[in-house]
Every structure is written in C-alpha cells, then in structure tokens.
Structure 1
C-alpha cells in the first residue's frame, strides 16, 4: 500500500473515535488555560536600558512586552527586585508616558513585606520617578492609597489595636508618602483627592473602615497641615453613616436583650433595609460608626493632652477646636436629626471652660445674625440648649449667662411685636423666636435643681420674667414641644416663677391644624408644633459612649416629696395631674433612651 493510501486508511479508522469523543467548547478551553498553574521564571537576557531603547526605536518591542509580563507574573525574589530597581534608577529619565505599562508592572510588585534594602530601593525609585515624570503621579498615588485597606485574609483588630504585621506594612507606606510629599510638593493635591475617592463606601465592613480611618489619622502625625482637609473628609463620611443608622433601630435592637451589634449575616434578628442601590444592615452600620467614633475620640483626647501628666495642652486644643469650627458649621450644624457625630463638639467643650464659652458665644452670634438662614439659627439655639442642659462641666455662672441672653432676646422680640395691631402666631413667621423660647424652657426644666438651692439663684430666675413670655400674644407654649412645656410648667408653678396651666388649657381647646401651600405649591397640613431636635440627647453607641459618659448629665426625676399637690377642685390642675414623672417607676439604664427632648413620663 502506498504512503498516501496508508494515511487515508488511518484517517478513516480514526473517524469513529473522533465522533464518540465530545469536542471541547471554546469556553472550556479558555477555562483550562486560565486555571492552569503557570510558573514564570524571571530572567533578563538584556540590560533594561537596551530593552527600553529598542522599544522607543520600535525595533524590539517584543523584548519590552516580555519584560512587562515577567515582572507582573513571575515570582520575584528580593534579589530580582533589587536588580531591577538598580537598573531602572540609571535610566529613569526616559520612563515617560510611553512606559505606562512598565510602571504599572512595577507597582504591582508586593514590596511592603520585603527586606529593608528592597523596601528602601523601592521607595527611592517611586520618589525619583515622580520627581522626573509627574504624569505617573495619579496612578502611583492611587496604587499606594489602596494599601490603606486590609487584605482579604486579614483578621479584625482586637479592641481597635492594629496587628503587628499591619503596622509593619503601613509604616513603610507612610514613610514613602512622607518622602514623596516632601520631595514632590505638587503631589499633595493628588494625594488628598485620592484619599477622598478611595474612602470606603458606608456599607463596607467595620474592619475596612477602621483600617482606613487608622491610616488617615496616621497621616496627621507627619503632615499636620493636611488635618483640616482630612478631618473634613472623615466627618463628611461619618455623617452619612449616622444618618443611615437611625436611633430608633438601634434602640429596638438594644431593648431586645440580645447581644449588641451581632455581625453574623445569617442571624435573622438583624434588620436590613434595601435602598435603590444597595442593602444596608443598620445594626452592622451602627457598629461601624461606633468603632470609628471611638477611634476619633481617642485621637482628639491624645492630641489635646499630655501623654504623661494627662494635662491639657492648651495650644493644641485651641488649634484643633478652631479647625473643627468650619467643619461643624459646614457639615454638622446643617444636618438635621443626626444622633452621634455631633458629640465630637460636646467632647471638645469638656476639655476646657474657655472652649465651652467660645463655642456658646459662636452659636449665639449665629442665632442673632439675621443674615443666617432661620433653619440654621434654630439649629444653633438647639445646640446651645442641649449643651447647657446635658453637660455636667458647664459652671453655674455660664448657665445663668446663657439664660440671661435668651431672656433678653425673647423680651426684645416680644416688645417689637407689641406695636402691631394683629400678631400672627404662625410658626413659619416666628420660627427663631419659638426656638429660643423652647431653649430657655428646656434649660430651666432640666437644670432647675442647680438654682433652687439658694434664694439668690431663685431671685435670678424670677428676674427673667418668664410670666411675660408665656402670656405673650405669640403664645410660645402652644408651639413648643409638649414634653418641654409640661416640665417647664411644673417647675415654674412649684417655685412660683410663672403660671402656665391656664394658657396650656386654653391651647388644648384650640388645636385646629394649619393648612398652607409650600414653595412647590403642595398643600401642607401642620399641627403648628415646633419641629426640632436636641442634638445632645443620650448617646447610645456602646464603645464610644465611654468617652462621653463621665461628662454627661442624665435627666433626674423628681422625688416624691418634691411633687406638687394640685387642688382637686381645679380643672386646670386636673389637666396635668402628674406634672413630674413618678420616681417609683423603673428607670431605664443610662444611654438607653433618647427621644427628644429627653424627658420621661408615666
């Protein structure tokens, strides 16, 4: 048989086996190639300069491509990396934008855990590269900032203390950033922008946020000039967490007597809510906020106090407070109904009485400034009332000064309205006035025990002329929150400062809703009650609350002996039979209640 016939017969006899064997699909072949372990051995046949010259001249581009693949895929030893870096530093002037792929390959090298010599050479290369070619700055800085995230197999930190291996990794990255910002100052703007863009999304895990936040605060040790921008970044993100972790959800979870902030995703008792973009685990988010605030509180305390004597360092505390004021003004004050982030200002005011006085004056100037939006003026006076009522470090003289300011402003406003033939008590027209009145009522109801111990202080309360306030044609008792009005009325009646019950009874019989069109033309029905919140209501996060609790004043219920016995024949007195909360009622634990304004009733 000829060779041709032999080949033909062989192909025919092999046909049945090819039919029986199922052919491999393209997807299957690609998966085999992808899953096949590849061992790329790093070996240079030419000097890097020769390879670069050939690539620039377009004579030997394959050598350049092979080099990039080897650096990216090969298992490089310390000696390999060292030899590459030494050769690169000799020809770094030609590494312009045409060599972007090569620079990306160098950035893909895991260098932070190498020997000290390799780490130093790598840091020198990065600084030299960006000094010569700022084109690569964004790519390099973004790659380095990504090292501020934990690895997928990294374990959580115990009690917020970083692991040794994480510290060893991060210290090398920060050393490089410190050198880079010193040698190439124009990289600072790119650096800050990268920190903003890489901040973890609020739905990420607690450890990712803790790891990234720890590194942000670490930057402040060697770049204190960046502190205003970094603090602005931190608080803008923490506010988003705070808004998405409602107090009501946390309280429901705490009242269920379960372990706080369970992190098991399979636990059905954890409530999640789905937005248009993602599913949010509210309790896990609250735990993340708790951990982050605890770290922030620790930073503020350590930054403002001597590590040995624990005494306050006034210059540092003053500078930090002045840096926080614009952040408070821009981010915290305009955000309605946040629950925890604003306590950073509460904690700062407890450092020194001078800061407390300065913060109260700052808020009061905003209240009195007619050029400020009314909603911000109301927020400012709410901060004043809540800080004075809830802090145990504000001296009595400062409380009296605050009440004096509020009372003088109220009487001045009332006098300005007396000349009008008709006074409209609509809350929209006098929102700031009602907010100031409620602030005064709140402070008096909350701190009256500080005044009734001496006749002199009772005389001071009488001098505020609160009777004129409550009988004003503007009728603040109708607009203010019911809980504030009840407690204020009980205190002022007991100590004969004002008699509010006749006005309250009249208001109870005139509760018609107000209907109006808003700015969009929508019909709105209002009960004409001041919609407000007190920002320093009880702090309910577990870990970070330990920093707040020593300086925080809980609402103290009146004793049985202090209750006022009302006349049985009086209809007005029957309206508020239980003017004080019953002290025999079981009290909730500290930081477990907080519905504004913080009073409790039967």
Structure 2
C-alpha cells in the first residue's frame, strides 16, 4: 500500500505517487482516467491560461440545479463537463482506496491540505502541483455527490475537507459547502461528531483572520456567524438526534475561565443565536452559560480574597485604563508584552493584576448580555413564556447557584427578574422557604437558602411589604418551633444548631433593612421618608414578632452570641432606638461568655493544632453571608440599580456609641470588589468594602 506523501510549497509531489490522478485536473483539462484519454485531452491545454495569475476564475453556482454555471469565460457546458470529470476522478480514487490503492486518495487529501496551508501561510509559493483556490469547489461538489462512498476508512479525507477555510469564501462556495456537510451527515452518520466539532470550534472566532480564505474579500463577523448557523441549523434539521451530540460538544468546547473576554463573548453570542432556531435546546444552553458564569464568579472571589493592597490598586488602575474594546483580539499577546520586560517579582504581580481584571471584565460583559436576552421574554411577566422561562431560571438557581458559596453576581439575574411581578416574587421566596425548612436537604444547602431568603427580602426594593411581613412571620415561627423541639439540649453551639442560627441571623438582617415594613401602624406624625420622625412614637409592630424574638434571645441557644457581631450590634442599636426592644444588656453579658467552653475537647484540640489564636472565637460564630449584597460590576449594574435597597445607617446611631460604630460599619462589608474598580460617579452602597 502506498504511503501518504505530504504536499509542500515549492515542491512537486513525490515521485512515489507515480501518476497523480487528481493533480492539476482543471488546469490541464485532462480527465486523468487513462493513458489513451490523456493524449487527446492534452490538446485542450493551450486553451487555458498558463500562469497562476491569469488562471483566476469567477465561479457562479446554481443552487437550484446544484451545478456550476460558469467559470471565467467558460460556458456552463464546459464548467459542467469539468465538474463531472472531477466527480468521476474522485469516485475512482475512493473506490481504489477501498481496494487498497492509496495513490489517488492521498492526492485528494493533499488538495484540501494545500488549500488550508495557503490560508495559514498566504506568502507561500504556488506549486505547479496545486490547484487554484477557485477550483476547490469542484472537489467539494464531487465529495458531496460521492458521500455514500465516503465510509469509515475515509476519516483522513473527511478531516482534511472539514479543515479548509469556508466561512470567508464567496456565497456560492459557502452554499456548496453547507450542502456537502448535509450530504455527509445524512449518508454517513459516523461523521456527525466530526462535523459538529468543526462547527462548534468556530464559536470561539471573533476576528476576520480566523475565518478568512486566501485571496477572498474580507467577510465581517455578522456574515460569518450567519453562515455558520445556517450550516448548523441545516444539520440539526436533517439529523434531530444531533442535538445531544451538539450539547456535549458545546460543553466540551466552552472557554475555560482563564480564556480571554473576546473568546468568551464570541462563544456566548453563538450559543444565544443557536437558541433562535433550536428553541428546544434553549434551557440547556442557558443552564450551561449559568454554570460557566458561576465558575468565573467564583474565580473573581478567589482573586480578591488573595489580593493585597498592591494587587487591588493594580486591578483598579487596569480596569480604569481598559476601554473594554470588544475587538481586543490580541488580549493574550498584550499581556505577554506587558509582562515580558518585568522582573520576576513584578512579572508575578502584573500577572495577578491582569488576571483579576480580565475575570471582572468578562463576567461583567456576559452578565450584561444575559440580562438583555431575558429582558424581552419578561416584557409581560405574567405571560406563559415568562413563567416557563422563570421556572428554568429557578432550576438553574437551585442546581447551580445555590450550592456555590462564593457566587457573588450570577444570582442577580433571578434577583432582578423575580421582582417584575408579585407572583414571581412569591414563587422565588416560596422555593427558598421550602429549601431552608426542608429536612431532606443538607445543612449547608439549608443555610445557604436561609441567607438567600433573608438577603432577597432585605435588599429587594420591589419586594412588597406584605411579602416581607409574611417571610418574617414564617421565619420567627419556625425559629420558635425549633427552640421548643430542642429545648432540652439547647446551648450556644453553631456546629450543632446551624439551621437555627442561619434563620435567626437572616431575620435580624431583614430587620436592619426593612424595619419600616415590619410596622403595621404608625401615628400621623410619622413621615415614612424621614426615619427620624419614627423616634419617640407609639409604633405597632407585627404581631408576635417582639415576644417570640425575646423568648429566643434569652433562651439557652443565645443567638446574639453566635450570630455575627456586626449584625447583632446593628440590630441592638436599631431595636433600642425605635423602642422595639432593648437587648444591650444581653449583648454586654455575652462578652463574658466563651463559646469554646461549649465545644468538645477533640474539636478544640484540632483548633489549637492549627495554631489559631485561642482567644479568637470568630470561627464559632456565623459568618455574614448574604448573597445579594452590593452589585457593582460597572457595565451591567444598571440592570439592578432600580431593584436594590442600599444600606443606609439610621441617623444618629453612630453618635450613640462611637466605639461600636466602626464595628457596625464592618458588619456589612462583605468581601466586595473595591469601590474604586468602578470608574464612574454613581453612588455606591455605604457598606461597600475597600481594600
């Protein structure tokens, strides 16, 4: 069996291939089917231009008759004859390949390999053994017609044909190539995966050099994507089972979190376009986007957790200097150029800065895109389409976002759209309540659900007062029921009673933000817009709220000792200032209670082994995790500005106790991106953290 001989620039094919059955067939006019035919056909050679420049041809392809109409000055009959000739030669090569003769088959592969090489290296010389770029269409049409003969043994040829540049070629070529793909997957389903892999790989493309073809006019990105999805849509229409294979390939090829912003945006935009003609794939596509958004989101939090002052300042400067150019196709090379002249230490520092800044930028752009996609669906939030989409969003939230502790931005998609109607608000809150109180759920899941519920009720500007009251009523009754069930074993132990403290801290958090909505009756002298007018007034609070809170605060659970000190301090000052209840004596008493005395000796021994400060008991207190704390990504934050209640300290509270004020401010500073990162003049949450 003959071995395949690579076709290289400036070199004729190896003499190992004794007669090249496909070589120069269009230039020479030879059918190359036999020695007797060769002599007669060579008489036509003088009728065609000899130089590569003069041989340039214009091809017109008739889609209805599936034939070539003309090439340059050739008549349609001449073009049709040549097309038939190529078809016969290709068919002969495939049949000989099946019987073990590789000569024509290897040459056929070389035609497509050379075409790809010319695009990769346009400056390479044109070999006499190569065909013109305009002539490649004859071989595409021939393979299309011979698709039933392209069996499993022809994998190498198929891979070469799928590797040529086609998106940047003239429309007649694109149409023929799409037909070739359709014929291939229809006649040979074994190549479905290869075709889909080729198409999905192009989802990452965002600059013309990635799809341009040799000597063809430049095709812009919109035209390229329209052609790409025309091909993919035709494959899906002919082969419905391709949807599962396609989803698997998309999941495999989705950019990693460290890939550049342009790559991510190109891939996401192609996924969103896929939903337009394959709506049944929409939910799974959005679930995949959400999953990858969460991964980037977590990486941002890791970057910021590891950042020191120098890195944070560098991130701020990098984001301010970046104009978020969507055509920044040399993202990676820019980074390399920035890092190339640095010392080792500076190189590492700049690398961390650039990595963190790029994660923030790509997260911001993708979030803005997803918000825009959903906006039109929720024009009528009570429509069936909106309800169905919201159910899919809930599924993504429960399965992907809720279990991820470090997600800081992705959840704001459902935060925004759940506030567009009371029904959607109640649906979201109801799901969170079910999870928080569901004994079948893990402790971590229940704790996260409680934090989401409290954060939603506290921060959701469009969450009505009635809903806030209902949530607080359910919380306090469940908290008190828990107290009764575990009264005999109650003690201030976070590890043992995590669900209880999570719900209690959530209730305190809601009080700090929505205390006005927990008042059911006020005197006429009260102005709801002026907090100071509430002072000294007879306020009627929600029924059972104060007595049940008091019973739990003074119980053996001692929640004010286990919940986060900043939130406890804020609640104590607000409650006392408004005349709701006075718990300062309990807070003061708790200063003399050591939580470590309630922890088993084995756990304490492990703690001491880890070289922790024996006087630091923060590890025995509930962390202040509220996932709807300030959202400040600069490009996409406008989506939630109207939905969001910023933290506003009650006037005069800091004056009451200056020493406690700084601790209170820190209670709501929950690991946010630096305020200075957002280079605009809009007002930020007073609780926003700064490095």
Q: TM-score range by the shorter chain?
A: 0.7 to 0.9
What secondary structure does 2:555 align onto? coil
Aligned mates of 2:12, 2:478 — CA distance in 1: 80
Which residue, 87, 93, 98 being the options, matches 1:51? Answer: 93
Is 2:367 the partner of 1:298? no
1:302 Cα deviation from its structure 2 partner: 2.7
Moved more, 516-525 or 191-200: 516-525
Aligned mates of 1:579, 1:462 — CA distance in 2: 31
Which string of whole-angstrom CA distances, capped at 9 and with x for unpartnered residues, describes residues 236-276 of structure 1?
A: 2111111111255599747986352655632889996799x
User: Could you tell me which residue of structure 2 aligns to residue 495 of structure 1?
Assistant: 578
User: Could you tell me which residue of structure 2 aligns to residue 436 of structure 1?
Assistant: 503
Which string of whole-angstrom CA distances, capped at 9 and with x for unpartnered residues, describes residues 300-349 of structure 1?
A: 113332xxxxx546222211111122221121111112211111111221
Which residue, 179, 190, 194 being the options, matches 1:139? Answer: 194
1:403 Cα deviation from its structure 2 partner: 0.8
Moved more, 134-143 or 258-267: 258-267
Aligned mates of 1:532, 1:43 — CA distance in 2: 75
User: Could you tell me which residue of structure 1 aligns to residue 215 of structure 2?
Assistant: none
Q: 1:112 to 1:579 in 2, by over 3 A?
A: closer
What secondary structure does 2:542 align onto? helix
Which residue, 112, 130, 135 being the options, matches 1:71? Answer: 112
Aligned mates of 1:38, 1:358 — CA distance in 2: 70
1:407 Cα deviation from its structure 2 partner: 1.1
Aligned mates of 1:209, 1:398 — CA distance in 2: 38
Which string of whole-angstrom CA distances, capped at 9 and with x for unpartnered residues, describes residues 181-222 of structure 1?
A: 111122222111110111111111110111111101111111
What secondary structure does 2:491 align onto? coil
Which residue, 430, 433, 438 being the options, matches 1:361? Answer: 430
Aligned mates of 1:599, 1:151 — CA distance in 2: 36
Which string of whole-angstrom CA distances, capped at 9 and with x for unpartnered residues, describes residues 100-159 of structure 1?
A: 11111211221112222221221111111111111111112111111112266669xxxx
What secondary structure does 1:503 align onto? helix
User: Could you tell me which residue of structure 1 aligns to residue 68 of structure 2?
Assistant: none
1:390 Cα deviation from its structure 2 partner: 0.9
Alignment of 1:166-205 (within 5 A): 166-205=221-260
Moved more, 222-231 or 395-404: 222-231
Moved more, 187-196 or 77-86: 77-86
Is 2:298 the partner of 1:258? no
1:86 Cα deviation from its structure 2 partner: 2.7
Q: Is the 8 A contact 2:567 2:664 kept in 1?
A: no
User: Could you tell me which residue of structure 2 aligns to residue 472 of structure 1?
Assistant: 555
User: Could you tell me which residue of structure 2 aligns to residue 22 of structure 1?
Assistant: none
Aligned mates of 1:42, 1:214 — CA distance in 2: 41
Aligned mates of 2:437, 2:358 — CA distance in 1: 41
Aligned mates of 2:663, 2:141 — CA distance in 1: 82
Aligned mates of 2:604, 2:442 — CA distance in 1: 16
Which string of whole-angstrom CA distances, capped at 9 and with x for unpartnered residues, describes residues 429-471 of structure 1?
A: 1110111111111101111234459428942336312222221
Q: 1:349 to 1:270 in 2, by over 3 A?
A: farther
Alignment of 1:503-514 (within 5 A): 503-513=586-596, 514=599
Q: CA RMSD in A?
A: 3.6
Aligned mates of 1:262, 1:138 — CA distance in 2: 43
User: Could you tell me which residue of structure 2 aligns to residue 84 of structure 1?
Assistant: 139
Q: Is the 8 A contact 2:378 2:417 kept in 1?
A: no
Gaps in structure 1 of 5+ consecutive residues: 1-32, 156-162, 306-310, 567-572
TM-score w.r.t. the length of structure 2 is 0.70
Aligned mates of 2:208, 2:173 — CA distance in 1: 24
Is 2:258 the partner of 1:213? no
Is 2:358 the partner of 1:284? yes
Q: 1:34 to 1:222 in 2, by over 3 A?
A: closer
Moved more, 45-54 or 549-558: 45-54
- Number of aligned residue pairs: give it: 537
Gaps in structure 2 of 5+ consecutive residues: 1-5, 14-22, 27-31, 34-88, 119-130, 211-217, 323-333, 524-537, 667-674
Q: 1:423 to 1:52 in 2, by over 3 A?
A: closer
Is 2:463 the partner of 1:394? yes
User: Could you tell me which residue of structure 1 aligns to residue 414 of structure 2?
Assistant: 345
User: Could you tell me which residue of structure 2 aligns to residue 323 of structure 1?
Assistant: 392
Aligned mates of 1:50, 1:143 — CA distance in 2: 27
